[in-house]
Amino acid sequence: MQMNFKCSLTLTALLLSSFSLLAQIEDKRGVVAKNAELVKVQDGFKFTEGPAVNRMGDIFFTDQPNDKIYKWSAGSNKIELFKDGAGRSNGLYFQLDGTLISAADLQNELWAIDQNTGKETVIVPSFRGKKLNGPNDVWVRPSGGLYFTDPLYPRPYWEGIRGKDMEQDGQHVYFLSADRSELFRVTEDLTQPNGIVGTPDGKTLYVADIGAKKTWKYDVLPDGYLTNKTLFCEMGSDGMTIDDKGNVYLTGKGVTVFDKNGTQIAHIPVPADWTANVVFGALDRRTMFITAMDAVYTLQMKTRGVW
């Protein structure tokens, strides 16, 4: 009897917690599925980051301080280790051919990782003969080529490698061509670029300047250069994603959603001090997968992610 009473109290607490969180969701346009609840899939990590979705809807994400990449299987809702010794990978993104691109900041490189074997290849070791600051987030455009942000977040494991001072002359965004023969800067006027994502047609790029607490919108030219820089919203972000309606999802204190005009339309609270990143997963791309501190969460959505 006593055990049942305790179980009832625990269940009641969980239900109240879920109800309380659900009640806190601000959703002006109905982006979240009706009666959806934020579900903690697993905790026990140190700091989760960089979720990326493959064709099957599975999510690969990093535990950056522990130097590991994990895989969440959409069909089973199970998490397994994909790669140990991951170059301190941070942001991840899949190319159309299934290659996993990683911002590996152990030695400030960009990696291409075979999804089947886990074998990595360094595709960007440096820029103009100097180490990058620390590649952070990546977006691969549909027509080929990729963009990545290069802010400076001094890491304790850099001691003995390069210290804590930038070798580059600032914190910039870079473009790497599809054949990997060209690497050049596409922004040189941002404070601390971090999150990055583009539209599925490849014509628009969003870059979050977390240092300036702003997110910018650019037109993407065929050669990879950017033009028509426009303020999107007065908020920076760690990670970013986009849905099929053109809504942009920013992270930090939970997940904040803006429509394509930069108007805030939703806020999803997450029970963590910091929400690092977000992506849509599962085959139908209606499961939002959130990395937040030591745990990862899912939330069922009405909107659908793009790939």
Q: List domains and CATH numbers for the chain.
A: 2-300 (2.120.10.30)
Residues linked to residue 89 through DSSP beta bridges, in sequence order: 104
pLDDT on residue 63: 98
* Percent of the chain scoring above 70 in pLDDT: 91
69 and 61 Cβ atoms separated by less than 8 Å? yes
What residue type is assigned to position 218 of the chain? Y
Reported as a single tens digit per residue, the pLDDT across 177-227 is 999 999 999 999 999 999 999 999 999 999 999 999 999 999 999 999 999
Reported as a single tens digit per residue, the pLDDT across 30-76 is 999 999 999 999 999 999 999 999 999 999 999 999 999 999 999 99
- Going along 95-223, which residue ranges are E strands? 100-104, 109-113, 120-124, 138-140, 146-150, 172-176, 183-187, 193-198, 204-209, 214-220
* Total-model pTM: 0.92
Q: Is the pLDDT of residue 3 over 50?
A: no
* Percent of the chain scoring above 90 in pLDDT: 86
206 and 244 Cβ atoms separated by less than 8 Å? no
Q: Is the pLDDT of residue 165 over 80?
A: no
